[in-house]
Amino acid sequence: MAVARTLILQPDGRLTQQHRTALTSLPPLSVYVHVPWCVRKCPYCDFNSHAASDIPERAYLDALRADLEQALPSVWGRQVISVFIGGGTPSLLSAAGLDELLATLRSHLRLLPDAEITMEANPGTAEAGRFRDYAASGVTRLSLGIQSFDDAQLQKLGRIHDARQARAAIGMAQEAVSRVNLDLMFALPGQTLDACLADVREALSFGTEHLSLYHLTMEPNTVFAKYPPQDLPDDDTSAAMQDAVESELAAAGLQRYEVSAYARPGARCKHNLNYWEFGDYLGLGPGAHGKISFHDRIVREARARQPESWMDRAGRGDGSHIAETRSLAASDLPFEFMLNALRLREGVAASLFAERTGLSLAAVAHQLEAAVSRGLLVTDPTRLQASALGWRFLNDLQELFLSE
């Protein structure tokens, strides 16, 4: 694998080198589908979500088909290993709507027979019959946004469900599909270590195989950023929560395999693993981002963010629904790769760097030496893996690979 160089004559007469990534094989391909509507926008949420009492399902599905058809030349013939339907609240889709969405994907793409198909769901919109219909359409994994089992905390977070609904939704999901993920948040307003562990222990009581655990943060352009909640745990308390949760989950057989993800053996999320291993993903729907590799370049793209604008533009068939397209420069690739791969607790095989970027590890030899000398990276030459210190100061480790 190598980086091809082409000499370019600039207007001022200078010759410069244009670097092109040369990949001998393409990485695995996933598909992300964004459903932007929700019942109510949560005050901490910075996702591309929009409150709606009645979602325009027909217009959305038509636009999604048009979006996919225009994307086909970039992924033609490639196998799809996973699909993730996120939001917003995808479980606002009718059973017939979800069935049509998956049928559209299957008719246009080469989904593997055992492709993991995940759908996010809000416990406040959970219905046993609808979950069974989703499973019948091909959904193999449901990810439930529980956040907490404490009713007072759920109210502070602006969630539309209570703890009783959360428990009921878990039961419905487990009866419908073979894989269920629970999302929890910690470092909540006024939350104690005991309260944090109580949430985790209740999640474990359902035999949970996969848990995503997120620190509450004040993201820009959210209600919480403008009106921060009171009594947030300090950094030391938050760190103690993280450590205690990891120990609790490890004792129950769930290993922390990524910054925010814990799983029992065999239950890791294949879709997200493909992100972290710098695989490819086609993003469909308003605001969806994608990364597509070709043999001579790696391209990132983003769809128009506003749902109405995306639906209108996708329907034109002229590509105007793509708000941004850019080919990654060779100098961008080390940071892009490490930003993802080093989030994995076990890291990745060192050979994956060349396989997924087209660059030799010699291109980042200086950064690797600096990371090892500072104790942030393990010394095993066959792996790219954060040390215990590097894991704790992951941002510092990843920033070493930023282009100068």
Question: Tell me: the pLDDT tens digits for 273-331?
Answer: 999 999 999 999 999 999 999 999 999 999 999 999 999 999 999 999 999 999 999 99
C-alpha span between 126 and 281 (Å, rounded): 28
Report pLDDT for 6: 41
Distance of CA 169 to the CA centre of its chain: 22
Instruction: Give the model's pLDDT for residue 281.
Output: 98
Does the pLDDT at position 9 exceed 50?
no
CA distance 91 to 71: 25
What are the start-end ranges of the H helices in 115-268? 128-137, 151-156, 163-176, 193-204, 223-226, 235-251
Report the mean per-residue pLDDT for the chain.
Answer: 93
Torsion on CA atoms 106, 306, 323, 142, rounded to nearest 10: -40
Whole-model pTM: value is 0.93
Could you report the per-residue pLDDT of 61-84, keeping only the tens digit for each? 999 999 999 999 999 999 999 999
Position 13 confidence tier, pLDDT thresholds 50, 70, 90: very low
- Position 179 scores a pLDDT of 96
pLDDT value for 21: 63
Task: Please answer whether residues 397 and 390 qualify as being in contact, where contact means their C-beta atoms are separated by less than 8 angstroms.
Answer: yes
* Better-predicted residue by pLDDT, 18 or 273: 273
pLDDT value at 17 more than 70: no
Report how far residue 376's alpha carbon sits from residue 49's, in angstroms, rounded to the nearest whole number: 37
Encode pLDDT of 161-197 as tens digits. Answer: 999 999 999 999 999 999 999 999 999 999 999 999 9
Share of the chain above pLDDT 70, in %: 95
Alpha-carbon distance of 112 to 81, in angstroms, equals 6
Contact between 374 and 343 (Cβ < 8 Å): no
29-275 fold: TIM Barrel (3.20.20)
**pLDDT of 116 higher than 80:** yes
pLDDT value for 221: 87
Give me the pLDDT at residue 18, please: 43
In the prediction, which pLDDT does 47 show? 85
> Containing H/E element for 282?
strand 280-284
Burial of residue 80, with CB atoms counted within 10 A of its CB: 0-12 exposed, 13-18 middle, 19 or more buried:
buried
Residue 84 near residue 35 (C-beta atoms within 8 A): no
pLDDT score of 1: 42
Average pLDDT over residues 120-130: 92
20 pLDDT exceeds 90?
Answer: no
CB-based burial, 232-245: b 16+ in 10 Å, e otherwise = bbeeeebeebbebb
Ranges 23-27, 222-226, 353-357: which has the least confidence: 222-226
- Report residue 206's pLDDT band, with 50, 70 and 90 as the boundaries: very high
pLDDT at 121: 95
pLDDT band at 225 (very low <50, low <70, confident <90, very high): confident
Sequence-distant (≥ 6) Cβ neighbours of residue 193 within 8 angstroms: 237, 240, 241, 244
- So where are the chain's domains? 29-275, 348-399
In the chain, % of residues over pLDDT 90: 86
